[in-house]
């Protein structure tokens, strides 16, 4: 019986004989999947916010409304800051892996 955070993870997932415990045998594999998906999702959100803010900036700068143009510029800057924080978190995890020797993000998954 595999335990993850004191919770039984062996109930059947409905995929025949495959269980959650066999899919994620340890905490590292679960964290790896979560981090990979979070990085992908943050990249998609960043791209959408960058396009939205950029188009709004172009539209509002052309209309002469400086308040709306400043709001659009803030959207672009905040999306860049958020994506930079996400990338820094990824690199910090890589540094922790190198220092401790643990495999947090498995590239084989």
Q: Would you list the DSSP string of 36-91?
A: HHHHHHHHHHHHHHHHHHHHHHHHHHHHT-HHHHHHHHHHHHHHHHHHHHHHHHHH
In a domain, 67, yes or no: yes
Running along the chain, 109 residues long, what does each successive block of 10 average in pLDDT? Answer: 54 61 74 84 94 93 86 94 91 88 66
In a domain, 91, yes or no: yes
Q: How many domains, the chain?
A: 1
In a domain, 56, yes or no: yes
Predicted confidence at residue 109, as pLDDT, reads 47
The pTM of the full predicted model, rounded to 2 decimals, is 0.68
d(CA 67, CA 51): 19
Nearest to 25 by CA among 45, 6, 14, 9: 9
Question: 3-class SS at 17?
Answer: coil
């Amino acid at each position: 019986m595999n335990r993850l955070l004191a919770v039984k993870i062996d109930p059947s997932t409905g995929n025949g004989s495959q269980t959650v415990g066999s899919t994620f045998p340890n905490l590292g594999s679960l964290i790896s999947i979560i981090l990979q998906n979070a990085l992908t999702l943050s990249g998609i959100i960043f791209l959408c916010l960058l396009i939205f803010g950029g188009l709004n900036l172009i539209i509002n700068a052309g209309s002469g409304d400086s308040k709306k143009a400043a709001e659009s510029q803030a959207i672009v800057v905040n999306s860049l800051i958020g994506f930079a924080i996400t990338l820094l978190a990824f690199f910090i995890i890589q540094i922790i892996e190198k220092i401790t020797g643990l495999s947090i993000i498995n590239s084989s998954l």
